[in-house]
Amino acid sequence: MEALLRPIYQERASQPNTLGIILVEKRAEVSPSTDTFDSILFILTKEAEQPVFTKHYTFHDKKAALHIITEKQLRKWLTLGTNPKLVDWLINGRVVFDRNEFIEQLKKELDDFPVNGRKIRMGIEFSKLTRRYLEGKLFFEQLNYLDAYSHVVESLHHLARLAVLQNGMHPEVMVWKQVKQVDPSIYKLYDEIVSSEETLEKRLELLFLASEFLIHSRIKEGAQHIVEVLSTKEFWTIQEIHEQEELKNYSVDLEVFIEFLVERGLILIEKKHTKSNEIMHRYYKVER
């Protein structure tokens, strides 16, 4: 298929805005990393009107996808961890064009995985983990076992990605394959909940007990980023926290995460008077 795609990527390579081109070939009959396509052309550009542009091609029984992505969009996805396929493409794809060694440098950054970037990713995953876990626990207490199961399994996925990040790696599409190598205890817990012959209620009871310990043991690492950011000021309103550039990445999980950390004593509450004698302003702080 590459011979057929070559004129397409050669044309793109001639454009000064193109930073690099990677060709990704399907490695198995069923290939989640390529969205079942036989080939992926992954093109990085400096800038574009559209941050993401996609085209599909077909030839006899083969199909290919072209993805043109700006550097800014790529780095956003890598920071948030919302598109794990990109990591697979960058690591396992074949570089067919690289302007000024841009992709080579990008792959080196991925391999080095700077500490600050890792802390942000861990914080985001931990915030998602706590929300799913708390919602699952609530559903369990309400005897809504199927909803509880759904949320708890999702929380385990975030726990798995957190474990991979703690080991200095980027979570990929097949994250459980990674987890089996870096943290067998989480893999075993996941395997038990999905394959156990116990009743759903019993499985959930055991899972909540195990998850509580696993979450508690990771609070320090998971909260490190948000605690460091909040330590840069004496007090914060919730609006100021929402508007802080790095904390914006926590999105809808931010307030639940803050309340979780308040309950655990990592974030403290400071009350200040309002014009009313009954109502107090609520400010947030950490020990500096």
CATH number where 255 lies: 1.20.120.330
* Residue at which a domain ends, from 58, 80, 112: 112
Residue 94's domain is classified under what CATH number?
Answer: 3.30.460.10
Which residue spans within the chain are E strands per DSSP?
18-25, 39-45, 52-59, 62-70, 94-98, 268-273, 280-285
Q: What is the pLDDT along the chain (288 residues), one digit of tens a residue?
A: 677 788 888 998 999 999 999 999 887 766 677 888 999 999 999 998 899 999 999 988 889 999 999 999 999 888 888 888 888 899 889 999 999 999 999 998 888 887 888 899 999 999 999 999 999 999 999 999 999 999 999 999 999 999 999 988 888 878 899 999 999 989 998 888 888 888 999 999 988 888 888 889 999 999 999 999 999 999 999 999 999 999 998 989 999 999 999 999 999 999 988 887 788 899 999 987
Asked whether residue 70 falls in the same domain as residue 195, the answer is no
Looking at the domain assignment, is residue 7 inside a domain?
Answer: yes
Q: Write out the residue range of the structural domain in which residue 50 sits.
A: 2-112
The pLDDT tens digits for 57-86 are 998 888 999 999 999 999 988 888 888 888
* Structure token digits, residue 199: 């009743």
Asked whether residue 41 falls in the same domain as residue 101, the answer is yes
Asked whether residue 82 falls in the same domain as residue 128, the answer is no
Q: What are phi and psi of 66, to 5 degrees?
A: -110, 125
* Residue at which a domain ends, from 95, 112, 129: 112
pLDDT at position 280 is 87
pLDDT at position 31 is 67
Q: How far apart are the first and last CA of the chain?
A: 58
Alpha-carbon gap, residue 245 to 75, rounded angstroms: 15
The pLDDT tens digits for 265-284 are 999 999 988 887 788 899 99
* Structure token digits, residue 274: 């309002």
* Structure token digits, residue 84: 């794990």
* Residue at which a domain ends, from 44, 77, 112: 112
* pTM: predicted TM-score of the whole model, two decimal places: 0.81
pLDDT at position 276 is 79
pLDDT at position 274 is 81
Asked whether residue 121 falls in the same domain as residue 261, the answer is yes
The total of structural domains in the chain comes to 2
pLDDT at position 121 is 92
Looking at the domain assignment, is residue 280 inside a domain?
Answer: no
pLDDT at position 131 is 94
Q: What are phi and psi of 276, to 5 degrees?
A: -85, 150
Asked whether residue 107 falls in the same domain as residue 93, the answer is yes
Asked whether residue 140 falls in the same domain as residue 31, the answer is no
Alpha-carbon gap, residue 12 to 102, rounded angstroms: 15
Alpha-carbon gap, residue 98 to 105, rounded angstroms: 10
Asked whether residue 200 falls in the same domain as residue 63, the answer is no
pLDDT at position 30 is 61
Asked whether residue 102 falls in the same domain as residue 127, the answer is no
pLDDT at position 194 is 84
Looking at the domain assignment, is residue 28 inside a domain?
Answer: yes
Looking at the domain assignment, is residue 284 inside a domain?
Answer: no
Asked whether residue 24 falls in the same domain as residue 128, the answer is no
Looking at the domain assignment, is residue 283 inside a domain?
Answer: no
pLDDT at position 253 is 93
